[in-house]
A = this chain, B = another copy of it.
Amino acid sequence: MLKYQQIAEEIEKYIEEHGLKQGSKLPVIETLMKQFEVSKSTITKTLELLEKRGIIFQVRGSGIFVRRQNRKGYISLLSNQGFKTDLEDYTLTSKIIELEIRKPTEEIALNLNMELHEEVYYVKRIRYINGQTLCLEESWYNKAFITYLNKEIVAESIFHYITKGLGLKVGFSDVYLHVGKLTEEEAAYLGLEKDNPKLLVESIFHLTNGQPFDFSKVTYNYEQSQFFIQANSHFF
């Protein structure tokens, strides 16, 4: 981890631990430079990262402020592979239903930009939050990049293994949302009833070189899940 990333984590932790609310003013750049004993350009990079992550916002000529969502118990839709930061007070567990090496179907091959004769790791698991079903997850990993998986890895955070264990760099993801009705099978896995509402989230994760390596379909239990997203001005 680079210096500016490390400082970003410390500032985030500080905001968290002191329960600073949205709009709270943070020290000026000069103070942060002295406190962390780094140059202005390092602090600038730190602040840019914190801004992108939705932790702070900067007002020209006025200062740096805490930008924090005010509601508790929401899952961040854009970092949901981790869950950790958003659901700190919750216990997350997984039950593996399937883990095997397969050939991709046409749909999977298309989304992962691979050939039909190549191979994927297929993972199907149920995720629980405090013992309640949170979601049913199916994922397809291109075996050319995710060369090895086993039950122990799949029972924990697969993304932690991919980045720390395999040392791959995740670049960006495309996320598609559909609202619909649960099938009988999905309802059975989630402990709900057929035709209950469902949120289906399809994600394609790419490495920093633009190569897709993971396609996943996650069906959420509507009773357990609410989500938030923080958007920045470049979207308007």
Contacts and interface: CB of A to CB of B under 8 A. Distances in A.
Nearest to A178: B226
A6 to B, nearest CB: 15
For the side of the interface on A, what is the size category? 35 or more
A234 interface: yes
B181 A234 contact: no
A59 B179 contact: no
A75 to B, nearest CB: 9
A81 interface: yes
Interface string A65-95: 1010111001011110110000000000000
Contact of A199 (B70, B169, B179): B179
A175 B65 contact: no
Nearest to A79: B235
Contacts of A69: 174
A70 B222 CA distance: 27
A159 interface: yes
**Which of A79, A177, A209 neighbours the largest number of chain B CB atoms within 10 Å of its CB?**
A177
A169 B179 CA distance: 32
**Which of A69, A171, A229 neighbours the largest number of chain B CB atoms within 10 Å of its CB?**
A229
Copies in the complex: 2
Contacts of A82: 236
Contacts of A233: 169-172, 208
A159 B64 CA distance: 26
Interface in A35-69: 49, 52-54, 57, 59, 62, 65, 67, 69
A22 interface: yes
A181 B197 contact: yes
A160 B23 CA distance: 26
B230 A175 contact: yes
Given A23-B210, A210-B65, A177 B228 contact: yes
A74 B69 CA distance: 26
Interface of A: 22-23, 49, 52-54, 57, 59, 62, 65, 67, 69-71, 74, 76-79, 81-82, 113, 159, 163, 169-181, 196-199, 206, 208-210, 220, 222, 225-236
